[in-house]
Structure 1
Amino acid sequence: MNIFLAVFSALLLCFTVLSLIRHDYWTFRVFDYPRLQKLSLSVACMVLLLIYFDSSSVLSWTSTLLIAANMIYLSTQIIPFTPLGKIQVQKVKTHIDEQSICVMIANVFQDNKNTKGCLNEIARHKPDVVLLLETDSFWEKETMELERNYPFHVRVPLSNTYGMLLYSRLELRNPEVKYMVEEDVPSIHTQIVLKDGTVIRLYAVHPTPPVPNENPRATERDKELLLIAELAKASKEPVIVVGDLNDVAWSFTTELFLKMSGLLDPRRGRGFFNSFHAHYPFLRFPLDHAFISEHFKLKQMKRLSNFNSDHFPIFIHVQYEPDSSSPDETLQPDADDIKLAEEKKNAPTST
């Protein structure tokens, strides 16, 4: 077996092992993201290993078996987000418009000036609620015309890439802007009144990612997600959590969030709905999410057209149906999960 294959195999195995180390530093957490890419590279590596397989070489046998194990492990992480996985959120059978709500989540990329493209996408799909992320004062001004069709709104323009603009056709009650972990990273908490009068609760979030040029740790992101999970779990109203979570659907932190919140992921059993990076097809991950409580069934979920952002918008249409999901469809935390969640919520932050 040549040196290239030995190094290639070792690197792929290291990338998987690093993602298993539950340390908050970005050098470990960044390897949560590319599991589909790691699987694709592992398949390519396996093909090469079989082509150049040397039955007399211990290294050849070891590399082949380890890469096979790596492929199996990565497949188990990815399959739940394909049609081969178990569906968590069932499809609507009877459509009731008065009990439904559709939400569009779009990280616009703050430096992007194509506001017309964004407005066209909103006009084309006509969501009830629009959440625009990475919005500064320029985006606030350029999207002000949405008020004609979206009379309820919460605007938090910021120049630090964590601004939020929330527009709604449906009545917003008691909207609040909170800075739960970092003093310059907001989240929006509000009640929304459906057409039939049902009151639901929406949390719009955009925590910081674990990247070296912004926040080298995942501590703040994980803490915010778990604090939102705590609020969602305690809510007496049906819950929707939307936003750019800067975490992939299959990471252990997102799974921990689902366990602690009792929310469901409509992606499971359907597809990846990769939203980032819009300009690099091989480097795409599901970063923009919509999680819902078991009170909802799914009408539609889709990825929308890009308008020069580095993210694709995500569109989700759900219908309120009490007791629509059985309790066993939610992920249940064990004692270790509860302990880890408490540690993360109480972890000291850099701010």
Structure 2
Amino acid sequence: MTKAGRFALSAFILIGVAASLAPLVETNLWWIRYLDFVRLQGAAALAITLALYASFGGWRSVAGRGVVALGIVALGLHAYRLYPYAGVVEAMAVATPACPAESRLKILVANIQWGNRRSEALFAIVARVKPDLFLVLETDEWWDAKLQDLGERFPDGIAHVPADANYFGMHLLSRYPLVEPRIGFYFGADTPTVLTGVALPDGREALFIGLHPRPPQFWDQPTTMRDAHLLAAALEARGSERPSILAGDLNATPWEGVTRRAMRIGGLLDPRVGRGVYPTFDAQSWLMSWPLDQVLFQDSFGLAAWDVLPAFGSDHLPVMAELCLKPDLAARQSAPALLAGDVDAAQAALRAAKTMER
């Protein structure tokens, strides 16, 4: 390879190193936070480029060896963030296939993509999966009317249908009675959160928190509101006496710092840890896809089943988690331990979001 070719490869590696390390900075800038989404793709691109650079003798010079060393450090960071989702570690959530029917709670989460009108494919999934709770995101008046067809299957529910067309409609449909359900709006934003008790057939009650915070967006949307939304939900779970579940399109990957902090604060387990990445967005791309749709739950629940389901016309794939309420499981599984400063950091995030209230 020519000197110019090696220089181009080294430049690409250094850009990759900078992009890999930038998310370590505590900031809400959209372009830095977005780099956490593509960590898996970035790691693959960096590994391929490093291999090419080394094979063409880039390591022979002192500067070249420095480039290789920096690339290895960046790959090590990617590996540290991603290895829990490679299926090579012990599962965080204990598998509990044997569970009394009256203690089970099957949850289906589907972001239908605003403007999508393909209800038949989604309803076929519902008929096959038979969820107890069905959280539907990005709904509008058309979907509000369509979801009435599921009223016999889901006798209870709560919904927010935006008066003006936007991406943050939300419906929660339930086979079981909901206890004091309400729609909350953190920080005056137009992104709803469902907070409700769910009465299980065995007489016990769980807290369900359904959310869909805004994602980081090009140029004008930092992650301030998203992060505060996630952390506020985690604080709700932390303060509840009921075993809690947090589910939705979180617009954050499981390996992001804010997601891990929310798990530590809320005492939440991630079914992906020890099982795989399970990407859900973009459903139309096998290359640029990452796990945004999540179901997190406290250690009183075991995991009877977990899956990402087939496409139904949305840009998101639906996710299904069947949980088993079995408090003695807490002795066999645990969420990431709370770190010093986690709650203070969450409170600071909430204060920052309040300054942006709409």
Q: Structure 1 length as normaliser, TM-score? A: 0.96
- Residue in 2 that maps onto 1:176: 182
- Residue in 2 that maps onto 1:278: 283
Match of 2:123 among 109, 119, 125: 119
- Residue in 2 that maps onto 1:208: 214
- Return the offset for 1:350: 4.6
Name the aligned partner's letter for residue 256 of structure 1.
R
Residues 11-160 of structure 1: matches in 2 within 5 Å?
Answer: 11-92=15-96, 94-158=98-162, 159-160=165-166
- Return the offset for 1:160: 1.1
CA distance in 1, matches of 2:189, 2:303: 35
Contact map agreement 1:32 1:248 (CA 8 A) in 2: yes
SS in 2 for 1:317: strand
Give the number of aligned pairs: 350
Unaligned runs of 5+ in 1: none
Encode CA deviations 1:235-285: one digit per residue, 9 max, x unaligned: 111111110111000000001101111111111111111110001111111
SS in 1 for 2:73: helix
CA distance in 2, matches of 1:46, 1:40: 10
My pick for the range that moved more, 333-342 or 288-297, is 333-342
Contact map agreement 1:182 1:220 (CA 8 A) in 2: no
Q: Does 1:197 find its partner at 2:203?
A: yes
Contact map agreement 1:22 1:28 (CA 8 A) in 2: no
Match of 1:329 among 334, 344, 352: 334
RMSD of aligned alpha carbons: 1.5
Contact map agreement 2:168 2:212 (CA 8 A) in 1: yes
My pick for the range that moved more, 312-321 or 5-14, is 5-14
Are the structure 2 counterparts of residues 152 and 17 from structure 1 closer, same or farther at C-alpha, using a change threshold of 3 Å?
A: same
Name the aligned partner's letter for residue 178 of structure 2.
L
Contact map agreement 2:299 2:330 (CA 8 A) in 1: yes
Contact map agreement 2:299 2:333 (CA 8 A) in 1: no
- Residue in 1 that maps onto 2:241: 236
Where has structure 1 moved over 6 Å in runs of 4 or more? none
CA distance in 2, matches of 1:309, 1:109: 5
- Return the offset for 1:154: 0.8
SS in 2 for 1:335: coil
- Return the offset for 1:339: 2.5
- Return the offset for 1:222: 0.9
- Return the offset for 1:225: 1.1
Match of 1:291 among 267, 291, 296: 296
- Return the offset for 1:55: 4.7
Match of 2:223 among 207, 214, 218: 218
- Residue in 2 that maps onto 1:317: 322
Encode CA deviations 1:182-227: one digit per residue, 9 max, x unaligned: 33111111111111111111000001111136x5111111111111
- Return the offset for 1:93: 5.1
Contact map agreement 1:32 1:251 (CA 8 A) in 2: yes
- Return the offset for 1:3: 2.4
Name the aligned partner's letter for residue 286 of structure 1.
P
Unaligned runs of 5+ in 2: none
CA distance in 1, matches of 2:189, 2:73: 44
Contact map agreement 2:180 2:197 (CA 8 A) in 1: yes
Contact map agreement 1:229 1:257 (CA 8 A) in 2: yes
Q: Does 1:307 find its partner at 2:309?
A: no
CA distance in 2, matches of 1:61, 1:84: 31
Name the aligned partner's letter for residue 57 of structure 1.
S
Contact map agreement 1:241 1:292 (CA 8 A) in 2: yes
Match of 1:261 among 261, 266, 273: 266
Encode CA deviations 1:24-82: one digit per residue, 9 max, x unaligned: 11011111111111111121112101211245412221111111121111011101112
Q: Does 1:188 find its partner at 2:194?
A: yes
Match of 2:254 among 249, 254, 261: 249
My pick for the range that moved more, 323-332 or 190-199, is 323-332
Are the structure 2 counterparts of residues 328 and 197 from structure 1 closer, same or farther at C-alpha, using a change threshold of 3 Å?
A: closer
- Residue in 2 that maps onto 1:5: 9
CA distance in 1, matches of 2:324, 2:337: 24
CA distance in 1, matches of 2:59, 2:209: 57
